[in-house]
Structures are given as C-alpha cells and as structure tokens.
Amino acid sequence: MGKTIEAIALQRGHDIVLKIDVGNMADMTEASLRRADVAIEFTSPHSAFDNVMKCLSAGTPLVCGSTGWLDKLSIAEQYCREHNGSFLYASNFSIGVNIFFEINKRLAELMNPHPGYTVGMVEIHHTQKLDAPSGTAVTLAEQIIERVDRTANWTYQPTTDPTLIPIVSKRIDPAPGIHTVTWTSDIDTIEITHTAHNRQGFATGAVLAAEFVSGKKGIFSMKNVLGL
C-alpha cells in the first residue's frame, strides 16, 4: 500500500518528504512530521495507535487506514479534539467500497422488518493482511447492527444465534479484497458483493483523503471526502 500510495501521490503532483517503515522508526520525530502537510498511516494493528498519536502530537493532519486497533480509536479522536487537530480514519478508502457501504445500509433498512432472513458475511484478502476480520467487514457488520433490530453483535466464530452476525475470513493470494454480505431465508438468498481487482482504488482514495484534510481542523470520514 505504501508504494502504491507514493506512486499515486507523485502522479498527482505531491512531494514525499518522509517515509517511515520498520527500518527507520527513529526518523519519526515531531520535527520531521511537521515538515509534512499531511501524513498517511497504513501499518499494522500493533503499531497504528502509537503512530497516530505521534502524528497528532506533532500537529500533522493525519489519514489512517490501519485496522485492528479500533478499541483505541475514541482515545485518538478525543486527543485530536482537545488539540484542535485534523484526523480522518477509514476502514476502506476505495470509492467503490464506500458506495458499497451506502448500499449495505439501505439493504439493512429494507431487511429490518423481515425476520425470516438471517445475515452473514465472508471476506477474502491476501495472506499478508495481518488482522481478521477486516476493518471493512467490521464496518459492514456495525452498519447492519445499527439498522436491524434483531441483530446485537458480530462474531468471528460459527454460530446459530440469530442475534449474531457471523464473519468468515479467508486469506488467499493474490486477492486484494472481496466482501460479500448474504441474507438468507427458507425461500431465497440475497447477496451483495464488492470485489477489488487491485490496490489502486484503496491508494487513490487515501491520497484523495489526504488532499481533503490538508489545512482543515476536525475529525472526518470518507463520507466527507466523497460527499456521500
């Protein structure tokens, strides 16, 4: 993702003033971060929160796409508010996926009065993806829970409890990302699927998000970027 984001940012006329990976973490200082108009953070669940807080502490507007650390998201958002920062988190930056989110919400609203349907989800990613289920799958599940009265939570385990949304994760190369939401009854099945063909959509969306938050203050989402 980092290499793809860099390539797209350069194509769009931006300069890359700092690149951080596991080999040069010591270079991630407040002084170096302040050289940037905006930072884009795509790492792993165990490092994302610390990276986010370093950027916010430096006052650098931040776009974050790391998943698997959302138990601490509210802490980062509160810190951003208290320090008048700029922060945009998204579980998925693809324009297509964010439209898919809107379709998922509408379908959930339509299914709410029909208790004969149960819902489940399958997500497939490449083997380098470290967290499971994916942040996109969790977002889809949470959208359904907010709109379907008979659902209460999601689970990563097989279940027969109709109040739980089961999420099945598969790691298969070279799949960049497939998400399917399935509503099943005794009569029929309704499925909606988003399939990513490559990482270009995710990276382009992240750069668009960075362009959006640069120079702004507040907490934003891809809905703000895309005007959804």
Distance CA(225)–CA(228), nearest Å, equals: 8
43 burial type by CB count under 10 A (0-12 exposed, 13-18 middle, 19+ buried): buried
> Which residues, 6+ apart, have CB-to-CB distance to 106 below 8 Å?
none
Closest CA to 126 of 90, 92, 177: 177
Q: Do the Cβ atoms of 83 and 59 come closer than 8 Å?
A: yes
What pairing do the DSSP bridges indicate for beta strands 218-220 and 86-89? parallel
Per-position DSSP letters for 53-96, written without gaps between them: HHHHHHT--EEE---S-GGGHHHHHHHHHHTT-EEEE-S---HH
Phi and psi dihedrals of 88, rounded to 5?
-130, 120
- Give me the active site residues, please: 125, 129
For 121, phi and psi rounded to 5 degrees?
-145, 145
